[in-house]
């Protein structure tokens, strides 16, 4: 792989990751299903409402007995919501009833409590009658048994979880998530939270890639870190390949002396070279023991830009999520760009809808990345753009 375009490399990556798109069903507790994607159409196993019940606190009556009002009726029974025997309304009486309680046979309307008075204990005066069907929730009036509640391929939101619970599902079949391992490399890296010695920095790429992967619907099976020692890196890869369907590495792919990722994977058939983009030029891809390995450069901005340009939408598609697509925004300020490479500049969308640049192009500017919310995509032939020009921006 010598210098190739972003499109060429993206196509090669997509081909290498094709198997990621074949998913199986996974049965999980409903309580863990938020954000997961339904595997197949889900049909209701029951009618909803499950039984005919009252929409109001009030009195269940035969509508004919309240056709002329006011009328006073004996109260034959009180029906609360909850387990109860099937009741029958005694002819010419009213049954006091609570919202959600089953309506007794013989009653066909509910008179809300607001439209009644109690003249003596054991009777009720109906001040305003109700026609047949008033405040009666019929069985199956919401959904009939067998109706599709949720189509295959839906990312489950709280409203979907709600209906699944309402029809009695404790579990749901969802699309299995692509299993991805992240391996960062660099002798200089230590965990955030530990003490630094001179020359050390905190490893931010591991947790960053993991967060991006989770946001894309992946299951992150490991976040590991290797020194620049080839045998250590190889050990970590071997282990990651046990559980992952995709391994993403960061660092060790450029032109320095200790490029552990390139040094280990190239002899195993890996392709390492340069993509005509900035940041994120050095890229690698390898089939390692049947597991695809994508290798991104280690600069934190380069790593994120690489993920967005080459992996995010593939992972999202495998996970069953919709792609994140670029949108158009007009430049708030002029932009200059070096020719021959596609530039992905950090930008921020303003309240006026325009996009402004955030800091400079340096791929080590991790704080500027945090302040940005889009990547401004400048194609490789463009060297200058005036303020007001429409550009494509990728949501970060
Ligand atoms: P490399 O691609 O390994 O040559 O690394 C390029 C730059 O990115 C160097 O300044 C590294 O220290 C830095 N870097 C590499 N990996 C990480 C990481 N996981 N977290 C933060 N910075 C990193
Ligand atoms: Mg390195």
Element (H, E) at 73: strand 71-79
The number of distinct structural domains making up the chain is 4
197/312 same-domain check:
yes
* Tens-digit pLDDT profile for residues 74-85: 999 999 999 988
Query: Mapping DSSP to helix (H, G, I), strand (E, B) and coil, where does residue 125 land?
Result: strand
- Alpha carbon of 226 to ligand 1 centroid (Å): 12
Whether the predicted model's global pTM rises above the 0.85 cut: yes
Has residue 29 been placed in a domain?
no
Q: What's the pLDDT at 84?
A: 87
- Residue-by-residue pLDDT tens, the chain, 396 positions: 459 999 999 999 999 999 999 999 999 999 999 999 999 999 999 999 999 999 999 999 999 999 999 999 999 999 999 998 888 999 999 999 999 999 999 999 999 999 999 999 999 999 999 999 999 999 999 999 999 999 999 999 999 999 999 999 999 999 999 999 999 999 999 999 999 999 999 999 999 999 999 999 999 999 999 999 999 999 999 999 999 999 999 999 998 888 999 999 999 999 999 999 999 999 999 999 999 999 999 999 999 999 999 999 999 999 999 999 999 999 999 999 989 999 999 999 999 999 999 987 676 788 989 999 999 999 999 999 999 999 999 999
**Of the ligands numbered here, which is closest to the C-alpha atom of 187?**
2
Has residue 1 been placed in a domain?
no
Of the candidates 137, 166, 200, which is a domain's last residue?
Answer: 137
CATH number of the domain where residue 368 is located: 2.40.340.10
Q: Quickly tell me which residue has 């003490």 as its tokens.
A: 195
Of the candidates 121, 137, 153, which is a domain's last residue?
Answer: 137
Q: What's the pLDDT at 1?
A: 45
* 334 CB-near residues (< 8 Å, 6+ apart): 384, 385, 386, 387
Of the candidates 261, 292, 319, which is a domain's last residue?
Answer: 319
Nearest CA to ligand 1 atom 9: 299
Has residue 28 been placed in a domain?
no
Would you say 285 and 291 are in contact if contact means Cβ atoms under 8 Å apart? no
Would you say 279 and 361 are in contact if contact means Cβ atoms under 8 Å apart? yes
Would you say how long the chain is, in residues?
A: 396
Structure tokens at 252: 């060790």
207/183 same-domain check:
yes
226/287 same-domain check:
yes
**Of the ligands numbered here, which is closest to the C-alpha atom of 282?**
1
**Of the ligands numbered here, which is closest to the C-alpha atom of 284?**
1
CATH number of the domain where residue 103 is located: 2.170.190.11
Q: Phi and psi at residue 377, in whole multiples of 5°?
A: -100, 110
Would you tell me how many other CB atoms lie within 10 Å of the CB of residue 60? Answer: 28
Nearest CA to ligand 1 atom 7: 299
Q: What's the pLDDT at 93?
A: 98
Closest ligand 1 atom to 252 CA? 3
189/259 same-domain check:
yes
Would you tell me how many other CB atoms lie within 10 Å of the CB of residue 295? Answer: 27
- Alpha carbon of 281 to ligand 2 centroid (Å): 15
249/353 same-domain check:
no
Query: Roughly how many angstroms between the first and final C-alpha of the chain, as a whole number?
Result: 27
Would you say 26 and 175 are in contact if contact means Cβ atoms under 8 Å apart? yes
- Which domain does 348 fall in, by range? 327-395
109/187 same-domain check:
no
Structure tokens at 277: 């983009």
Q: What's the pLDDT at 2?
A: 58
With a Cβ cut-off of 6 Å, ligand 1 is lined by: 184, 186, 188-189, 201, 203-206, 250-252, 254, 256, 297-300
* Tens-digit pLDDT profile for residues 165-207: 999 999 999 999 999 999 999 999 999 999 999 999 999 999 9
């Amino acid at each position: 792989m010598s210098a190739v375009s972003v499109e060429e490399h993206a196509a090669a990556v997509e081909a290498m990751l094709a198997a990621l798109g074949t998913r199986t069903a996974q049965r999980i507790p409903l309580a863990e299903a938020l954000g997961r994607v339904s595997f197949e159409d889900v049909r209701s196993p029951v009618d909803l409402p499950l039984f005919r019940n009252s929409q109001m606190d009030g009195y269940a009556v035969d509508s004919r007995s309240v056709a002329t009002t006011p009328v006073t009726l004996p109260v034959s029974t009180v029906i609360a919501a909850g387990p109860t025997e099937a009741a029958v309304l005694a002819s010419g009486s009213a049954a006091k009833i609570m919202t959600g309680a089953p309506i007794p046979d013989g009653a066909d309307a509910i008179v809300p409590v607001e439209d009644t008075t109690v003249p003596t204990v054991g009777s009720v005066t109906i001040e305003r009658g109700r026609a047949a069907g008033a405040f009666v929730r019929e069985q199956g009036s919401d959904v009939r048994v067998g109706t599709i509640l949720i189509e295959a391929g839906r990312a489950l939101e709280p409203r979907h979880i709600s209906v699944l619970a309402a029809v009695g599902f404790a579990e749901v079949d969802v699309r299995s998530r692509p299993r991805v391992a992240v391996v960062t490399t660099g002798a200089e890296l230590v965990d955030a939270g530990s003490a630094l010695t001179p020359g050390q920095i905190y490893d931010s790429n591991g947790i960053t890639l993991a967060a991006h992967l989770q946001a894309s619907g992946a299951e992150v099976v490991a976040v590991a870190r290797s020194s620049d020692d080839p045998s250590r890196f190889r050990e970590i890869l071997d282990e990651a390949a046990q559980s992952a369907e995709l391994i993403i590495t960061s660092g060790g792919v450029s032109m320095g002396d200790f490029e552990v990722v390139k040094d280990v994977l190239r002899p195993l058939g890996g392709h390492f070279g340069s993509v005509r983009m900035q940041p994120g030029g050095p890229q690698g891809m390898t089939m390692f023991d049947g597991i695809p390995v994508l290798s991104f450069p280690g600069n934190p901005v380069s790593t994120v830009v690489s993920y967005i340009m080459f992996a995010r939408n593939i992972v999202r598609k495998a996970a069953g999520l919709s792609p994140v697509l670029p949108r158009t925004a007009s430049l708030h300020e002029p932009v200059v760009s070096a020719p021959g490479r596609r530039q992905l500049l950090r930008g921020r969308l303003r309240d006026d809808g325009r996009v402004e640049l955030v800091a400079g192009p340096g791929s080590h500017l991790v704080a500027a990345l945090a302040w940005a919310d889009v990547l401004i995509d400048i194609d490789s032939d463009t060297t200058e753009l005036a303020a007001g020009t429409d550009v494509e921006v990728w949501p970060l």
